Amino acid sequence: MNRKLTFLAVLCPLLFSSSSCTNREALGRSDDPKGGKAKTNDKLESVSPHVLPPLPFKEDALEPVISAKTISFHHGKHQKGYVDNLNKLVVGTDFAGMPLEKIITETAGKVDKTAIFNNAAQAWNHAFYWRSLSPKGGGEPPAALKQKIEASFGSLDACKKELATAAMGQFGSGWAWLVQDGDKLKVVKTGNADVPMTAGLKPLLVLDVWEHAYYLDYQNRRVDYVNTVLDKLINWAFAAENLD
């Protein structure tokens, strides 16, 4: 089993409802009915009711950088809330039988579907965020990713600096992403629940910069949370697995 298939085999049962995961090879781009712009990390056929995926590590595994208390609230209350809300919102709608990523692409930018988009995207973003962290994170990226980082940013430090700048520059709640755009890697930030896929960018990893991600541990010091996570927890191996 190659690395992408191995990754999907692990991620599929974790990310979404347990009913099925029929397109395990489709780690690449999703089919976008509006012109093929959206790029996603998987094409999962699971449908509602969506379930809260378990964490890929124990609640205390990221201490002292992120406390078990933060992880417990973040996963067990915030992320669970998005999943539960989504399940309630899609009952009796066309979205009830839809995979999570398709719900996101179908509702993005539609003002009358904002609540469904927000909860679907936040459910997806958080599952992706947990995979972007690892107790064994930080350090050097795998060679193939490091090469692309150096080609796009000049150095690993420059990439981390750009990620930190995006994370600090996001006014209010949101996300800082390392994404792939063709042959190039880029850093982008999104507000609230927004995702880069709908802009044609493929996510490689993400930092949650909503206050609930760090306030219990760092209070207003977002900069300390961001820099410590980038040094100690960021999961470069996960990002490398997501490369096209």
Give the number of other CB atoms < 10 A from CB of residue 227.
Answer: 17
Q: Which of 106, 162, 208, 241 binds Fe ion (CB under 5 A)?
A: 208
> Of 135-143, 153-161, 202-210, 230-238, which part binds Fe ion (CB under 5 A)?
202-210
Whether 194 and 170 have beta carbons less than 8 Å apart is answered as no
Q: How far apart are the C-alpha atoms of 73 and 166, rounded to whole Å?
A: 25
Give me the least distance between CB of 9 and Fe ion, in Å please: 26
- Distance between terminal CA atoms of the chain? 17
Give me the least distance between CB of 124 and Fe ion, in Å please: 12
Give me the amino acid identity at 57. F
Give me the least distance between CB of 178 and Fe ion, in Å please: 17
Give the 3-state secondary structure of 112-172.
HHHHHHHHHHHHHHHHHHHHCECCCCCCCCCHHHHHHHHHHHCCHHHHHHHHHHHHHHCCC
Nearer to Fe ion, 52 or 96 (CB): 52
Using the rule CB under 5 A, is 7 a contact of Fe ion? Answer: no
Site for Fe ion in 211-240 (CB under 5 A): 213
Q: How far apart are the C-alpha atoms of 235 and 240, rounded to whole Å?
A: 9
Q: Return the structure tokens found at 91.
A: 């009952």
Nearer to Fe ion, 105 or 122 (CB): 122
In the bound complex, which residue of the shown chain has the CB atom lying closest to Fe ion?
A: 208
> Of 18-26, 39-47, 210-218, 230-238, which part binds Fe ion (CB under 5 A)?
210-218
Nearer to Fe ion, 39 or 74 (CB): 74
Site string for Fe ion, 162-201 (x = CB under 5 A): ----------------------------------------
Q: Which of 7, 95, 210, 225 binds Fe ion (CB under 5 A)?
A: 210
Nearer to Fe ion, 128 or 210 (CB): 210
Helix (H, G, I), strand (E, B) or coil at 109: coil
Interface positions with Fe ion (CB under 5 A): 208, 210, 213
